[in-house]
């Protein structure tokens, strides 16, 4: 397993241009299963999860050609088969093939994704919505087996929680269902809009109201389409927080600032000096940052995927801060590791209490999940001395070769084999 060696008191200068969003690319790649024509995608990030999704789709017979940041997926000749545990456990987004397979074949057998470091990650909201469209499910030997009598039928669905994955699964199942589907209390994340835009380019008929209700009229067939994946708002937010922590002049480009309004307002409340343009953010040094209270919530609230990074920043601010994590039941795995780096954070149920004015000191730490691991990188960049971050495969799932990306911007960061 690889580890990262990071020298502290890092410099950071210049700018970064943000690549495509992992959490938009994954469902959009799966949507190719709904069509027999080729789906051409641009701005695809080079990440382990994208590689795994390509492997999963090839497993069904998809023909996938990738060149630089583009990928062409053709699912004309695919065969239905089980999605086995080994693939699904490595990448929870595999569950997103359930809706498209039910739409295309009327049946699907997928290993239950199981939990992960941040929570049990159930799929009840996915299954409840797909049942409303006419699917039946049984769970046997750790697999969920879905069956549709003849065709999926449009329905009025109200999600019990605005689950991102469930919204995506149900939306993809509904685009060729018979009649109209309404999804109320759907997730409003920008990645949902990106998926709907791509499906509409493929010939679907999806309209999303201002309130976020998704209205779908089923169509018979989808056709070829080209689509540019939206930029990764979480990677953008991570680099913005890095620049504020290092107190350096830096610019984050090619990101829709509307997608990270909650982060921007939290940083401004702390006293960060940020200048916004439509598709870029300029961070300038500031005299001091003050602690604040935030809580994570579904979009447009503060994103849970930036919670760990924010916690690292709060350790450097003056005074106390608090973070309430409302989305996942176990998303504070980075706390003990940040404390090893010199933070002073205590957790009580779903609230983390962060003491400020801390100085990070280099240490050996362990990554536990994707976003926790990047919060350790941010702290290590600010620490006195050298840090070693183990189990870097977590990081590679969501950040393209971070040692090169950051290395080009000033920090001394190298990857070593354990
Ligand atoms: C997506 O996961 C993202 N992953 C996550 O990003 C992100 O943290 C999450 O949305 C929330 O924004 C991808 O897009 C691939 P949810 P997803 O369904 O769809 C509960 C990252 O770091 N729930 O909105 O799995 C669930 O347990 C990853 O890039 C049910 O109870 O998230 C959780 O507590 C991590 N039943 C909450 O809802 C269900 O059927 C939010 O989950 C589904 C979800």
The answer to whether 352 and 325 are in contact (CB under 8 A) is yes
- Look at residue 376 and tell me whether its pLDDT is greater than 80: yes
Ligand 1 proximity of 88 Cβ (cutoff 6 Å): no
Residue 92 CA to ligand 1 centre (angstroms): 9
Atom index in ligand 1 nearest the CA of residue 118 equals 35
Residues with Cβ within 8 Å of residue 234, at least 6 apart in sequence: 21, 23, 303, 305, 306, 371, 398
Of 89 and 409, the one with more pLDDT = 409
Ligand 1 proximity of 304 Cβ (cutoff 6 Å): yes
Q: 201 and 244 in one domain?
A: no
pLDDT of residue 413: 95
Atom index in ligand 1 nearest the CA of residue 126 equals 40
Atom index in ligand 1 nearest the CA of residue 26 equals 15
pLDDT of residue 304: 98
The distance of Cα 385 from the centroid of its chain, to the nearest Å, equals 31
Pocket probe for ligand 1: among 130, 327, 334, 371, the residue whose CB has the most ligand atoms within 8 Å is: 327
pLDDT of residue 184: 98
- In degrees, to the nearest 5, what angle opens at C-alpha 380 toward C-alphas 306 and 257? 30
Q: 217 and 300 in one domain?
A: no
384 vs 312: CA distance, rounded Å: 15
- Which of 4, 43, 47 has its CA nearest to residue 397? 47
Ligand 1 proximity of 185 Cβ (cutoff 6 Å): no
Instruction: Assign 1 to helix, strand or coil.
Output: coil
Residue 151 CA to ligand 1 centre (angstroms): 28
Written in H, E and C, the secondary structure of 94-105 is: HHHHHHHHHHHH
Listed residues 187, 212, 228: the one ending a domain: 228
Residues with Cβ within 8 Å of residue 211, at least 6 apart in sequence: none
| Cβ neighbours, 10 Å, residue 86 | 8
The answer to whether 192 and 167 are in contact (CB under 8 A) is yes
- Provide the number of structural domains found in the chain: 2
CATH number of the domain bearing residue 66: 3.65.10.10
What is the extent of the structural domain holding 325? 2-18+231-417
Q: Which of 9, 75, 116, 382 is catalytic?
A: 116
Q: 244 and 224 in one domain?
A: no
Mind listing the pLDDT tens digit for each residue in 159-186? 999 999 999 999 999 999 999 999 999 9
Ligand 1 proximity of 371 Cβ (cutoff 6 Å): yes
Q: 171 and 90 in one domain?
A: yes
Q: Is position 75 annotated as part of the catalytic site? A: no
Pairing assessment for the beta strands 107-111 and 143-148 based on DSSP bridges: antiparallel
Q: 149 and 76 in one domain?
A: yes
Residues with Cβ within 8 Å of residue 17, at least 6 apart in sequence: 253, 254
Q: 200 and 275 in one domain?
A: no
- Cis amide linkage into residue 300, ω under 30° from 0: yes
Q: 343 and 287 in one domain?
A: yes
Mind listing the pLDDT tens digit for each residue in 297-351? 999 999 999 999 999 999 999 999 999 999 999 999 999 999 999 999 999 999 9
Q: Model-level pTM greater than 0.85?
A: yes
Mean pLDDT within 390-401: 91
């Amino acid at each position: 397993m690889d580890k990262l060696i990071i020298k502290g008191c890092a410099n950071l200068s210049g700018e970064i241009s943000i690549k495509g969003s992992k959490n938009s690319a994954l469902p959009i790649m799966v949507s190719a299963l709904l069509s027999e024509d080729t789906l051409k995608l641009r701005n695809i990030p080079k990440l382990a999860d994208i590689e795994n999704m390509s492997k999963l789709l090839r497993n069904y017979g998809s023909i996938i050609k990738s060149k630089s940041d583009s990928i062409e997926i053709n699912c004309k000749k695919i065969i239905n088969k089980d999605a086995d545990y080994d693939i699904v456990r490595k990448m929870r987004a595999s569950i997103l093939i359930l809706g498209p397979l039910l739409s295309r074949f009327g049946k699907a057998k997928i290993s239950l994704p199981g939990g992960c470091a941040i929570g049990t990650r159930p799929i009840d909201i996915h299954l409840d919505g797909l049942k409303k469209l006419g699917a039946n499910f049984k769970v046997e030997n750790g697999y969920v087996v879905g069956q549709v009598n003849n065709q999926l039928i449009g329905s009025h669905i109200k999600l019990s929680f605005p689950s991102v994955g469930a919204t995506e699964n149900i939306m993809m199942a509904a685009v060729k269902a018979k009649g109209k589907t309404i999804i109320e209390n759907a997730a409003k994340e920008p990645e949902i809009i990106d998926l709907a835009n791509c499906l509409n380019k493929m010939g679907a008929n999806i309209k999303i109201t201002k309130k976020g209700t998704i209205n779908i009229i089923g169509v018979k067939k989808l056709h070829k389409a080209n689509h540019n994946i939206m930029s990764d708002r979480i990677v953008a937010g991570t680099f913005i927080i890095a620049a504020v922590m290092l107190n350096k002049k830096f610019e984050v480009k090619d990101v829709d600032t509307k997608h990270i309004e909650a982060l921007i307002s939290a940083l401004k409340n702390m006293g960060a000096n940020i200048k916004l343009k439509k598709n870029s953010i300029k961070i300038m040094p500031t005299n001091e940052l003050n602690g604040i209270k935030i809580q994570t919530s579904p979009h447009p609230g503060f994103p849970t995927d930036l919670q760990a990074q924010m916690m690292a920043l709060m350790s450097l601010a003056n005074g106390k801060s608090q973070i309430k994590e409302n989305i996942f039941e176990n998303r504070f795995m980075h706390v003990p590791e940040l404390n090893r780096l010199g933070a002073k954070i205590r957790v009580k149920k779903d609230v983390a209490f962060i003491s400020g004015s801390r100085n990070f000191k280099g240490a050996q730490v362990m990554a536990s999940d994707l976003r926790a691991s990047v919060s350790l990188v941010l702290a290590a960049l600010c620490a006195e001395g050298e840090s070693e971050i183990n189990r870097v495969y977590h990081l590679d799932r969501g950040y393209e070769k971070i040692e090169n990306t950051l290395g080009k911007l000033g920090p001394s960061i190298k990857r070593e084999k354990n």
